Structure 1
Amino acid sequence: MALTDWTGWASAVILLAAYHAGTRGRGQAVRVHIANAVGSLGLGSMSAAHHAWPSVGLNAIWLIIAAAALRSRRLHPNADVKQPTARRAGVALEEPVAPAGSATIAS
């Protein structure tokens, strides 16, 4: 197997790992975007070496999206900070909820 093929397989693994981490909310967003950029660059290079132009185009777009996301993170560093969860009907989310149909004793 040629070096370009190894690069392509490694890049595919990087892209899949970044996608998995991003969809599961794991890892820092910056690392996910960097992994997307590196993976798309490597996979696009391998695709170009094999003259697979649709894949080159797809990976170029993927790289542009990752670069834009990194730029946005640089401009808005707290973009991934989660906001507090809203309370439902005035009931705190930490309070235990009795199962349906169970009787409760009022004090």
Structure 2
Amino acid sequence: QLEHDRLVTLLPPGSLVVNATGPVDKDTPSPVGGAALFPENGLVWDLEAVGISSPFLDKARQQRRERGLRLADGPAFRQFQWLTAAATVFGATPDRAEAKKMMKQIG
């Protein structure tokens, strides 16, 4: 974790930091530890977190206000996938207002 913490801390402002390591359990800890500082004005995204406690996002939540972070979890990723699939199937990409409405409907 120390190497991951170091690498995350060195990222430039506005960087995207993604946890795509899979579900967290007792054998798979968060990829970042206590020394990680997320990039200022960055986006922190945990692809697996869906209504569960995510140590990765918990760490980002602690820094959210101070570092100006935006957080996203698994449902945001699935909504994007759904919109992409819908655009492919129906041959059209929804405009921003339609996309927001659709995302509210699917959760």
TM-score normalised by L of structure 1: 0.28
| Bigger fraction of residues in helix | 1
